Amino acid sequence: MADSGDRRRFIYNLHEQSKPVGAVRWLPSVSPFLRLAAMSVLSPPAIEIHSFSSQSPNPNPDLNLVSSYPLPSSATSLTSFKSHNYTLIAASTSTGSLHIFSVNPYDGKIESQIISISDKDSFHCGPIQSIDVETSSTGECATAGEDGRVNLVLIGEDKVENFRVCESDGLVAYSAVKWGSPVEFVTGGVGPGLQWWDKRRPGGPVAQFKGVWGRGTVTGMIHSIDIHPSRKHTCVVGGSSGAVYAWDLRWQQQAITLAGTGLEAKSQPFSESEVWEVKYDAFTPQVSSTKVLPVMMCSEDGFLAVLQQDERPVQLLEEPCAINSFDIDPQNPSDVIVALEWESVGILSRGREETEMA
């Protein structure tokens, strides 16, 4: 049962769109009054940049389209990052291509497509289900595909290099990837298993977690992985049957279930559908320093909630449709942007004195 007590203290604005939105990401802001967000729209496939003003006294800012760029097929994963003072967006597609765009941080205009990779022999021959960019050092982009391939794309100033990490010939499908350090990353796919990779030790994963969904009573797959920069030995995972759990490398064979049937068939699920995305939530206070940090999740059955170990979930939203994606603003962690299945984008600002719905 979820605790909805914290719903008293936020402002939530819902913005209808003319196209279905697959994923949303905040972009780094250079002004406290002009905010930018990237969206992957599905029909026709494209990347769009939207702006809105957060300047008081307007509590219901308009969401305005600033620029867009077409994609060859629907985006399957989206991320934003900064590199050498540039704001960049990376998107993967259902036909196995990777695209990286440069965005003007002052007005949100997409200035250029700086990278486009689509070679089916050397890159991916099917949908790329997940990408992640290592932003602290190397700037490498990890890609995980339905074709069982895991690649690393090194983005240099004058060239782009692609390195194959794994080729499973379609026997394994990967659906999520996340960097843990400049040399380590984790992947997940069908089933609850996770693979920890280290570039210094090529040849395969250096550690694996081999759990069983609901003690073998259910099947599923992993959709999202997050790793906190201050606790790189622990990753949090969202997947099928409402499952959200944490995997700690120090206790590799024991997962910590935060929600869902997950790895324990006896647990009571908060959501029984697919958990599409999980992220550590820097805004929510931590209950105990010895427990898993607070985690936000969104689901197919329309929930946006904050989970803490051994605590009741705090429900933020309950929509009548799927919440496909969300993002917590790293510069303002109180602000969350969500993409709804019914062609809408919502912006939730927490920590306000009263609730306003627009």
Local confidence band at 353 (pLDDT 50, 70, 90 cut-offs):
very low
* Mean pLDDT of the 147-160 span: 82
What is the tens place of the pLDDT at every residue in 128-152? 999 999 988 888 999 999 999 999 9
- The pLDDT assigned to 57 comes to 47
Number of C-alpha atoms within 13 angstroms, CB side, residue 282? 16
Answer whether residue 98 shows pLDDT above 60: yes
pLDDT band at 268 (very low <50, low <70, confident <90, very high): low
Residue 354: what pLDDT?
Answer: 39
Whether 281 contacts 330, CB under 8 Å = no
pLDDT at 356: 41
Q: What's the whole-number average pLDDT of the chain?
A: 87
pLDDT grade, residue 5 (50/70/90)? very low
* pLDDT(262) > 80: no
34-42 β-sheet, strand order: 21-26, 34-42, 45-53, 64-70
Mean pLDDT within 37-65? 83
Q: Phi and psi of 97, rounded to 5°? A: -110, 155
Q: Cβ of 13: how many Cβ atoms within 10 Å?
A: 18
pTM for this predicted structure: 0.91
pLDDT, one tens digit per residue, over 213-249 is 666 666 789 999 999 988 888 899 999 989 899 988 7
Is 355 within 8 Å of 9 (Cβ atoms)? yes
pLDDT higher than threshold 90 for residue 116? yes
pLDDT digits (tens, 9 = 90+) for 315-335: 999 999 999 999 999 999 999
